[in-house]
Amino acid sequence: KNQVEQSPQSLIILEGKNCTLQCNYTVSPFSNLRWYKQDTGRGPVSLTIMTFSENTKSNGRYTATLDADTKQSSLHITASQLSDSASYICVVIIFGNEKLTFGTGTRLTIIP
């Protein structure tokens, strides 16, 4: 069964600190992996998209890594800000299939 698992389920950190969110997937065959940010009650917004051949991709303070061999990805947030408080969702796309497989997300809370 194609699955995407994220850890931790929730995380609380102080403003200014760094953090790393994890994503493990069993989706096969793999096309690409995306990280989305979802503010409470709003639609997800894409942060990064990585294909099979990409190991790392950055978007400002967000850096995503991908190890296609171990089927793991991480999202590293540097110098967190209060506005980073949101759910971060890992999404994997099956090659040749337009359906997205979503993880259940990590709920990140930044406290001042």
Give the residues lining the site for another protein (CB under 8 A): 31-32, 41-46, 49, 89, 93, 97-100, 102-105
Distance separating alpha carbons of residues 105 and 96, to the nearest angstrom: 24
Token pair for residue 90?
Answer: 């890992």
State the pairing for strand pair 10-14/106-111. Answer: parallel
- The answer to whether 95 touches 38, Cβ cutoff 8 Å, is no
The distance of closest approach from Cβ of residue 23 to another protein in the complex, given in angstroms and rounded to an integer, is: 12
- The answer to whether 22 touches 105, Cβ cutoff 8 Å, is no
Nearer to another protein among residue 34 and residue 65 (C-beta): 34
The distance of closest approach from Cβ of residue 76 to another protein in the complex, given in angstroms and rounded to an integer, is: 22
Nearer to another protein among residue 46 and residue 81 (C-beta): 46
The distance of closest approach from Cβ of residue 49 to another protein in the complex, given in angstroms and rounded to an integer, is: 7
Name the residue type at position 1.
Answer: K
Nearer to another protein among residue 71 and residue 102 (C-beta): 102
Distance separating alpha carbons of residues 32 and 59, to the nearest angstrom: 17
Nearer to another protein among residue 62 and residue 102 (C-beta): 102
